[in-house]
């Protein structure tokens, strides 16, 4: 495959080595599955491009060929992204989310906007889903950039909150204007015009403005943006689970610590994180077990017990389902 600048041809297969080159990050890591440098990882288009304004554009119109998990220590910044199709699981430090377009029935999807904050350096992971066609446009915004952009009112307060509150993630249905902009940027990603770079930069500016403009329309923002109270409840539940990973716990325990009913806790996790409480806990435990093994701190049996599995065989099955490889391969 031949790379053209910072992107690939639309119908190309991208190897892990290609992805690492396009990502332009020295510590960009492949966690799972165990691929060789030339093994295909994605099929389609993947673009990573810095803009003169300090913004960065990340566009994808590609199919995941594996349950691909990548990791990077992300520098501080805010990311806004429009998902036209497809979903992926991401982690911001110890917080886990499922993001992407939402199913709308009869094979249709609702395009979604997400905005998340990395107010400090932290581990960012993406876990793709094999066979998923992901079409999205993401804009990375350096900290401080929004403060100089002249946002005021509700948009200004949202910007200040994202710049200050590390790990915050908001999601809401994309407006028709944002869908049009993202579709246009994807269709023109190959360049070919004299003013291509300038046009993409102008559209990136417009996309950021449209996302924060939606914050000024209360009825648009309210259904998807977590309230401070909801965030507090979710965070309390996450902190309780993190502190008691190796202990038996019930939904009632977690809900009680978060000061909500069991049904409210389940609803908050499904609405805000895209998964039930026990799915979140299972993934979190597996993630901690994987890091335990990667650091060489113990055996697979010990990792299984830390993840809440009394049977190493059941742990190995769950681990391989999640990461595409056996837990033994994680040990240094």
Query: What is the pLDDT at residue 177?
Result: 92
Contact 89, 126 (CB under 8 A): yes
Distance CA 275, CA 234 (A): 12
Distance CA 298, CA 332 (A): 11
Average pLDDT over residues 178-203: 83
Structure tokens at 58: 């990340």
Residue 261 has pLDDT above 80, yes or no: yes
Residue 188 has pLDDT above 70, yes or no: yes
Contact 185, 51 (CB under 8 A): no
Structure tokens at 105: 């029935």
Q: Residue 75, Cβ neighbours under 10 Å: how many? A: 14
Query: What is the pLDDT at residue 84?
Result: 95
Q: Are strands 95-100 and 87-92 parallel, antiparallel or unpaired?
A: antiparallel
For 209, how many CA atoms within 13 A lie in the half-sphere containing its CB? 10
Of the chain, the percentage scoring pLDDT greater than 90 comes to 20
Total number of residues shown for the chain: 332
Query: What is the pLDDT at residue 225?
Result: 38
The distance from CA 137 to its chain's CA centroid, rounded to whole angstroms, is 13
Query: What is the pLDDT at residue 5?
Result: 39
Residue-wise pLDDT tens digits, 48-83: 888 888 999 999 999 888 878 888 888 899 999 999
Average pLDDT over residues 277-302: 86
Query: What is the pLDDT at residue 208?
Result: 93
3-state class of 171 per DSSP? strand
DSSP string, 172-193: EEPPHHHHHHHHHHHHTTT--S
- List, in order, residues 6 or more apart from 256 with CB less than 8 Å away: none
Contact 19, 41 (CB under 8 A): yes
Query: What is the pLDDT at residue 176?
Result: 92
Residue 195 has pLDDT above 80, yes or no: no
Helix, strand counts (H, E) of the chain: 11, 14
Average pLDDT over residues 272-284: 82
Residue 26 has pLDDT above 60, yes or no: yes
Contact 128, 30 (CB under 8 A): no
Query: What is the pLDDT at residue 53?
Result: 86
Contact 87, 101 (CB under 8 A): yes
Distance CA 226, CA 268 (A): 9
Query: What is the pLDDT at residue 24?
Result: 65
Query: What is the pLDDT at residue 193?
Result: 60
Average pLDDT over residues 120-125: 90
Tell me the average pLDDT of the chain. 82
Distance CA 272, CA 169 (A): 8
- Answer yes or no: pTM beyond 0.75: no
Residue 179 has pLDDT above 90, yes or no: yes
Cα dihedral sign for 119, 197, 21, 83?
positive
Query: What is the pLDDT at residue 83?
Result: 96
In the chain, the largest separation of any two C-alpha atoms, in whole Å, equals 62
Report all structural domains of the chain as residue ranges with CATH numbers, in order of start: 13-221 (2.60.120.10), 228-330 (1.10.10.60)
From 3-17, 84-98, 212-226, the region with the lowest mean pLDDT: 212-226
Residue 207 has pLDDT above 90, yes or no: yes
Distance CA 207, CA 278 (A): 35
């Amino acid at each position: 495959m031949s790379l053209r600048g910072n992107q690939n041809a639309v119908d190309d297969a991208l190897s892990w080595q290609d992805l690492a080159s396009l990502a332009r990050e020295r510590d960009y890591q492949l966690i799972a599955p165990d691929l060789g440098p030339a093994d295909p990882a994605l099929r389609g288009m993947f673009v990573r491009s810095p803009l003169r304004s300090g913004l960065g554009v990340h566009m994808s119109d590609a199919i995941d060929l594996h349950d691909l998990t990548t990791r990077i220590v992300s520098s501080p910044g805010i990311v806004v992204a429009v998902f036209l199709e497809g979903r992926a699981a991401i982690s911001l430090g110890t917080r886990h989310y499922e993001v992407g377009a939402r199913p709308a029935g009869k094979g249709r999807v609702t395009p979604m906007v997400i905005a998340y904050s990395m107010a400090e350096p932290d581990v960012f992971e993406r876990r793709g889903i094999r066979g998923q066609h992901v079409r999205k446009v993401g804009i990375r915004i350096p900290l401080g950039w929004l403060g100089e952009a002249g946002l005021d009112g509700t948009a200004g307060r949202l910007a200040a909150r994202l710049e200050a509150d590390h790990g915050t993630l908001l999601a809401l249905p994309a407006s028709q204007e944002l869908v049009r902009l993202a579709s246009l940027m994807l269709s023109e990603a190959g360049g070919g015009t004299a003013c291509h770079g300038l046009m993409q930069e102008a559209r990136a500016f417009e996309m950021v403005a449209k996302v924060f403009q939606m914050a000024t329309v209360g009825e648009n923002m309210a259904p998807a943006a977590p309230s401070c109270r909801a965030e507090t409840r979710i965070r309390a539940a996450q902190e309780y689970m993190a502190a008691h990973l190796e202990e038996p716990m019930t939904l009632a325990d977690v809900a009680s610590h978060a000061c909500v009913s069991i049904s409210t806790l389940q609803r908050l996790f499904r609405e805000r994180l895209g998964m039930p409480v026990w799915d979140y806990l299972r993934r979190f435990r597996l993630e901690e077990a994987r890091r335990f093994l990667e650091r060489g701190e113990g055996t697979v049996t010990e990792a299984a017990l830390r993840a809440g599995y009394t049977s190493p065989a059941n742990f190995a099955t769950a681990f391989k389902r999640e990461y595409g490889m056996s837990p033994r391969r994680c040990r240094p």
